[in-house]
């Protein structure tokens, strides 16, 4: 649960109701029927609910810095290029594995499906028209990573695995200057 862009932790739990107090603004939030999930519990809950296994790297991925960037592969699709035309994808909030989190992977998955993502896609970040998703269409244990635009329902594979994508994550300031101009130049190998 977040407030003032900070994760609220260690609630007081009384009779199954959790009470969170934000140290920044003092707001009190109550969550009835609260259950504490370990990381393992969170992964098991996800698998039980959707029938897919989350990659173990997801626990690290969910904590990447807001505004992190990765390079997209080229695409010949007009709508993909319209939505993702800069050749880079900048992340927003990554969905949290904890079912109790304000922006949990369960909330994100549901939102993605409301925007007509396929049932085999689990949205992990996005805003409605564009999503970063785990694509389980070929495997229930090794999802590919795709970006999806929902207007025409097109997607682009960005990585064979979450681990591969994580190896390509860059800091925003390494790709864009303060005016938003691309300054990144790929190193020759």
**pLDDT digit string (tens) for the chain, length 189 residues:** 778 877 787 888 888 898 999 888 989 988 888 888 899 999 999 999 999 999 999 999 999 999 999 999 999 999 999 999 778 999 999 999 999 887 899 999 999 999 999 999 999 999 889 999 999 999 999 999 999 999 999 999 999 999 999 999 999 999 999 998 999 886 654
Q: Write out the residue range of the structural domain in which residue 19 sits.
A: 2-31
Q: Mark 9-35 as b/e (b = at least 16 C-beta within 10 Å).
A: eebeeeeeebebeeeeeeeeeeeeebe
Rounded CA gap, 159 and 139, in Å?
A: 14
Indicate if 7 and 45 belong to the same structural domain. no
Indicate if 57 and 120 belong to the same structural domain. yes
Residues 6+ apart with CB under 8 A from 4: 22, 24, 25
Indicate if 73 and 152 belong to the same structural domain. yes
Rounded CA gap, 19 and 67, in Å?
A: 30
Tokens of 129: 């028209």
Contacts 24+ apart (CB under 8 A), 4-9: 7/101
Indicate if 20 and 52 belong to the same structural domain. no
pLDDT of residue 155: 96
pLDDT of residue 34: 82
**Residues 8 and 2 sit within 8 Å (Cβ to Cβ):** yes
Indicate if 79 and 167 belong to the same structural domain. yes
pLDDT of residue 138: 96
For residue 107, which phi and psi values (nearest 5 degrees)?
-65, -45
Evaluate whether residue 44 is within a structural domain.
Answer: yes
Evaluate whether residue 80 is within a structural domain.
Answer: yes
**Residues 19 and 28 sit within 8 Å (Cβ to Cβ):** yes
Indicate if 26 and 43 belong to the same structural domain. no
Rounded CA gap, 146 and 161, in Å?
A: 10
Tokens of 49: 């609910």
Evaluate whether residue 183 is within a structural domain.
Answer: no
CATH number at residue 144: 3.40.1580
Q: Name the nearest CA neighbour of 154 among 105, 125, 116.
A: 116
SS3 per-residue string spanning 85-107? CCCEEECCCCCECCCCCCCEHHH
Indicate if 13 and 57 belong to the same structural domain. no
- The model's pTM: 0.84
Evaluate whether residue 106 is within a structural domain.
Answer: yes
The total domain count for the chain is 2
Indicate if 81 and 147 belong to the same structural domain. yes
């Amino acid at each position: 649960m977040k407030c003032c862009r900070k994760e609220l932790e260690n609630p007081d739990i009384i009779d199954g109701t959790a009470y969170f107090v934000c140290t920044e603004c003092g707001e009190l939030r109550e969550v009835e029927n609260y259950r504490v999930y370990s990381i393992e519990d969170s992964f098991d809950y996800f698998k039980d609910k959707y029938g897919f296994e989350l990659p173990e790297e997801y626990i690290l991925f969910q904590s990447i810095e807001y505004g992190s960037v990765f390079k997209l592969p080229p695409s010949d699709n007009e709508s993909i290029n319209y939505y993702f035309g800069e050749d880079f994808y900048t992340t927003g909030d990554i969905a949290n594995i904890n079912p109790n989190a304000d922006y949990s992977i369960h909330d994100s998955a549901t939102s993605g499906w409301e925007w007509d993502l396929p049932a085999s896609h689990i949205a992990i970040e996005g805003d409605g028209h564009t999503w970063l998703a785990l694509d389980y269409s070929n495997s229930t244990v090794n999802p590919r990573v795709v970006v999806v635009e929902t207007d025409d329902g097109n997607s682009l594979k960005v990585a064979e695995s979450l681990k591969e994508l994580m190896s390509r994550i860059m800091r925003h300031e390494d790709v864009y200057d303060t005016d938003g101009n691309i300054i990144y130049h790929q190193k020759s190998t």
